[in-house]
Homo-oligomer: A and B are copies of this chain.
Amino acid sequence: MADRLVVIGGDAAGMTAATNARRGAPGLEIVVLEKGPDTSYSACGIPYVVSGEVDDLLDLVVRTPQEFRDQFNIDVRTRHEVTGIDLDARRVEVRALDQARSLTLGFDLLHVATGARPLRPDLPGIDGPRIHGVQTLADTRSMLDAVGERRCRDVVVVGAGYIGLEMAEAFIRRGARVTMVESGPQPMRTLDPDLGAKVAEAVRRFGVDLRTGVKVEGFGPDVVHTTDGDLHADLTILGLGVRPNSDLAVGAGLAAGAAGAIQVDHRARTDHDGIYAAGDCADAVHMVSHRRVYVALGTVANKTGRVAGINLGGGYATFPGVLGTAVTRLCNVEVARTGLNEREATEAGIEYVVGRAQSTTRAAYYPGAEPLDVKVLAERGTGRLLGGQVVGADRAGKRIDVVATAITAGMTAIEFGDLDLAYAPAVSPIWEPFQLATRDAVSALKAQPT
C-alpha cells in the first residue's frame, strides 16, 4: 500500500476522491492542498446566494476542512496553493499563502482536482475591478463585497450560458437592471436555436434586457463597449463559460485531452502511473459520439471523483462517460438537455431526424398546468435516440433524465414511445411529452429513405 496520497483541490472532485480513498485505505496518509479557504461547496448554489434565496454562502459548504480532519482523518490544508508538480521526483511545490512560505511535499499517489476557471477574453479593460467571474466562494465574496460597497443599479452580464443566465436572474431578484450581451443568435448554446429562442422569451419576460448577436469590444470603469453601443455598468459579470484549470498539470507533463483538460481513462487515471485526475480539470468520453469532450458539471465531478478515490484506495471502479445532461431553473422556466444537439450530431458525422412536441407540465385541466416544449434527435436509419432538450415551466426539467437513461441504454425512438411511464393529472399529462416527441421522430424516420 502506498504511503501518501496528495490531492490538489478541495472541492467536489478532490474531497469525494479523498473520502473514498480513505474508506478503501485506512492506513493511507491523505493530504489535500486547497488554494482557497473553503472545501466541498456547491458552486451551483452561488446564484441563489446572490439573489437572496439562500441566506449565506456558508450554507453552500457541504463539509468544512475541520470535519474532513475529524471524520475522515484527512489532512486538509486550505490556503495552500500548489505552484509546481515534479512528476519524476514525485513531489509538489506548495505556497502556504497565509504564512508566505513555500514547502515541498512528496507523494506516492497524486490526484489532480483543480477545477475550472471562468473564461476571460483578451479584451481592453478586462482586468477592471468591477468585472467579476463567478466560480468559487472566494470570487463570490469579493463580488458581493463590491456590491455592498456601492449602489449596483446597472448590471451587465456577458454571455448567456447557464451561469450568465442564472446570475442575470439573481440580480433581477436583487432589484438591479440587468442587460445581457450574447454574441450568438440565442442564449444557451448547449441547446439548439429553436429551443434557445424559448429561453430567450422567458428571460425577456422576466425583465432581462437580452441582446443577442452583440459582441463585447472592451470595458471602461463603468461601461461595457459593445457592437451595439455602450452599456453603463456598475458591475459586470462574465458568464462566458469556463476552461479547465489544467495548465500546471499539463505543463508538468500530463497528457492533455479535450479542450486542454487533463486526459483521463475510464478509471480516472492520467497517462502517468499513480496519478489521477477528475472533475472540471479533466476530460471525459461522450457516450453517444464516443469522442473526448470537456464537460464541467458538478454531477460529473462527484462521479469521477468517487471513481478516482475508489481506485486510489486500492479498489476498482470505472466511469462510463458523459451525456452532458444538465438542467437549470431560471426566470420561471426550467431548461434541460442531454446527449447530442443538432450541431454536435453534425460534428460527430451522425445523420439524424428531429422529433418535437408541445405539451403541458400537468394535465391541461389541472390548476397550474403550463406549456412546455420538447425535442429529441434520433439517428436516421437505426432510430436510436441521440439527444433531448426541454424548455418549460416548473417540473419540466427533470423529465430529461428519462431521455438520458434511454440514450445510455441504446433505446430507439420506437422503444421509448412504449415505455410505461407514470401519469397523474397533478404531475403530468397522460402522454409524457418526450414520448410525443419520439413518436414525431418515428414519423420522420419512416418518411425518410434510410
Contacts and interface: CB of A to CB of B under 8 A. Distances in A.
Nearest to A49: B365
Nearest to A336: B422
Interface stretch (A219-227, A243-251, A398-406): A398-406
Counting chain B CB atoms within 10 Å of each CB, which of A303, A338, A426 scores highest?
A: A426
A404 B423 contact: no
Contacts of A44: 363, 423-425, 430
A322 B420 contact: yes
A326 interface: yes
A73 interface: no
A42 B400 CA distance: 26
A19 interface: no
A2 interface: no
Contacts of A45: 363, 365-366, 425
Interface residues of A, number: 63
A424 B402 CA distance: 16
Interface string A394-434: 01011111101110111100010011111111111011100
Contacts of A320: 418
Contacts of A348: none
Nearest to A326: B422
A421 B365 contact: no
Interface string A315-345: 0000111111111110000101010000000
A253 to B, nearest CB: 30
Which 9 pairs, one residue from A and one from B, show the smallest C-beta to C-beta distance? A409-B409, A327-B422, A329-B426, A323-B420, A405-B405, A59-B365, A325-B420, A401-B421, A299-B423
Given A54-B367, A328-B426, 4 more contacts: A298-B423, A323-B420, A338-B422, A405-B406
Interface of A: 12, 42, 44-45, 48, 53-54, 59-60, 287, 297-300, 302-303, 319-329, 334, 336, 338, 363, 365-367, 395, 397-402, 404-406, 408-411, 415, 418-428, 430-432
23 contacts: A42-B363, A42-B425, A44-B425, A45-B425, A48-B366, A53-B367, A54-B367, A299-B423, A300-B420, A302-B430, A303-B420, A324-B420, A325-B420, A325-B421, A326-B423, A329-B427, A338-B422, A395-B395, A398-B428, A401-B419, A404-B421, A405-B406, A405-B409
